[in-house]
Amino acid sequence: MIAFILKRLAVAIPTLLVLIILSFILMKVAPGSPFSGEKAIPETVMKNILARYGLDKPQWQQLLEYIYNIIFRFDFGPSFVYRDRTVNDIIAQGFPVTVKYGFFAFIFATVIGVAMGIFAAIRHNSWGDYLAVGFTVGAQVVPNFVLAPILVLVFTLWLRWLPGGGWNDGQWNYVVLPVIALATSYVANIARIMRSSMLEVLHSNFIRTARAKGMPGWQVIVKHALKPAMLPVVSYLGPVFVGMITGSVVIDLFFSTGGIGQWFVNSALGRDYSTILGITILLGALTIAANLVVDILYAWIDPKIRY
């Protein structure tokens, strides 16, 4: 197990390097620069700006210095667009926001999704099942950029229950709509997966045996069926995690939370090189970590898997 983790970590480092180099090249190839604006900047001023950020050095030197600063000083450099901030400042501001509602969305999606899936499987072919299936299919096909404005119209404008955007230091009522908008499609996916795998498990011999022994229904579910039925769900959690990072782009843009997704898109569109690189690397590292955790979780649930 430990050897397995070490092996995966050994892969992580080249992965991150590939990621840094790839993003760096993509960014430098992209037309436009962080200093392009409505007003053309006179050459003399431009020269000063480039010199200030070290952008007048050869590209390979910039890349090496960048990597060196990340590894040895954990410094992603200054933002070219937000000139009183470093990329570390930006991440420190935006990341906790995304983590907070992302965490709640993750828990929400998993708990509700699993519960709904179990429910639908137990009441197979009942109205409850059809309702749950109907919801999962519906929720899966409505993009969150359609869902979010509908939520705001309903909960903000008509019912006046919740604010339609902003963050306000993560006060609970500001978190609710982002969580729902982000989690809904994953609730649906998890419920679908849970339902079909639970159905499969319920039809297997060992469950029939347990039932035959006279074990009460819910005990069978909790003690015997839940763990094997969770396997496909667990393997889905890694992708859910990645999907939530991607989904946060829409949520951040729409709800103006100041989260990391908004920063990514805006710095990509505004060519804020260092910010894009910083965020990409951070999220890449997280993805790697999340996949690793999922693998470990999987191994823990299913002892048959050996590494």
Partner 1 sequence: MLVEARSDVVATQEGTEAASTPVKGRSLWHDAGRRFLRNRAAVFFVGLLVLIVLFTIIGPYFAQYTIEKVDWSILGKVPALGGPSLANGHFFGVDQTGRDLYIRVIQGTQISLVVGVLGSAVAVVVGTLYGAIAGYFGGRLDSAMMRFVDILYSIPYMFILILLLIIFGRSFSLLFVGIGLVSWLGMARVVRGQTLTLKNREFVEAAVATGVKPLAIVIRHIVPNLLGIVVVYATLLIPEMILLESFISFLGLGIQEPNTSLGALISEGAQTMQYGTFWQLGFPLAFFVVILFAFFFVGDGLRDALDPKDR
Partner 2 sequence: MKLRNVLGVAIAAALLSSTAMTYAADVPADAKLAAEQVFKYRVLDNIRALDPQLVEDVDTAYVTNQLFEGLYNAGPDGEPVPGVAESYTANDDFTVFTFKLRDAKWSNGDPVTAQDFVFGWQRAVDPALASTYAYFVGLVNIANADDIVAGKKPLTDLGVKAIDDKTLEVTLRASTPWFPRTLAHGTLFPVNQKVVTEKGADWTKPENIVGNGAYVLAENSPGERVVLKRNPNYWNNDKTVIEEVQFLTINDENQGLTRWRAGEVDQTDVPAGQYPALEAEMPDQVYSVPQFCTYYLSVNMTDSAPDALKDKGVRQALNLAIDRDIIVNAVLQGGQQPAYSFTNPNTAGFTMPTIAAAGMTQEERDAKAKELFAAAGYGPDKPLTLDYIYNTSEAHKAIIVAVSQMWKEKLGVNINMSDMEFAVLSDRRHTQDYELARNAWCGDYNEASTFVSLYDSKSEQNDSGWSNPEVDKLLADAKLAADPGPMYEQIEQIAAEEVPIMPIYFYAKVFLQKPTVKGWPYDNVEQTWYAKDMYITAE
Of the candidates 7, 83, 203, 227, which one interacts with partner 2 according to CB under 8 A? 83
Beta carbons within 10 angstroms of residue 304's beta carbon: 6
* Footprint (CB under 8 A) of partner 1, residues 245-284: 245-246, 249-250, 264-265, 268-269, 276, 279-280, 283-284
Residue 84 φ then ψ, to 5°: -100, 15
C-alpha closest to that of 198 among 126, 90, 116: 116
Question: Does 225 contact partner 1 by CB under 8 A?
Answer: no
- CA 156/CA 150 separation, integer angstroms: 10
Instruction: Quote the tokens at residue 87.
Output: 């990329």
CB of 185 to partner 1, least distance (A): 8
- CA 180/CA 247 separation, integer angstroms: 12
**Which of partner 1, partner 2, none interacts with 226 (beta carbon under 5 to 8 A by kind)?**
none
Q: 156: Cβ–Cβ under 8 A, 6 or more apart, which residues?
A: 162, 163, 164, 177
CB of 246 to partner 1, least distance (A): 4
Question: Does 303 contact partner 2 by CB under 8 A?
Answer: no
- Binding track, positions 33-62, relative to partner 2; x by CB under 8 A: xxxxxxxxxx-xx--xx-xx----------
Considering beta carbons, is residue 33 or 144 the nearer one to partner 2?
Answer: 33
Residues in the chain: 307
Considering beta carbons, is residue 122 or 182 the nearer one to partner 2?
Answer: 182
Cα Rg, the chain, nearest whole Å: 24
Helix (H) and strand (E) counts in the chain = 12, 0
Of the candidates 37, 58, 143, 216, which one interacts with partner 1 according to CB under 8 A? 143
Question: Does 253 contact partner 2 by CB under 8 A?
Answer: yes
Helix (H) or strand (E) segment spanning residue 141? helix 127-141
Site for partner 2, rule CB under 8 A:
31-42, 44-45, 48-49, 51-52, 78, 81-85, 93-94, 97, 149, 152-153, 156-157, 160, 163-168, 252-254, 256-259, 262-263, 266, 269-271
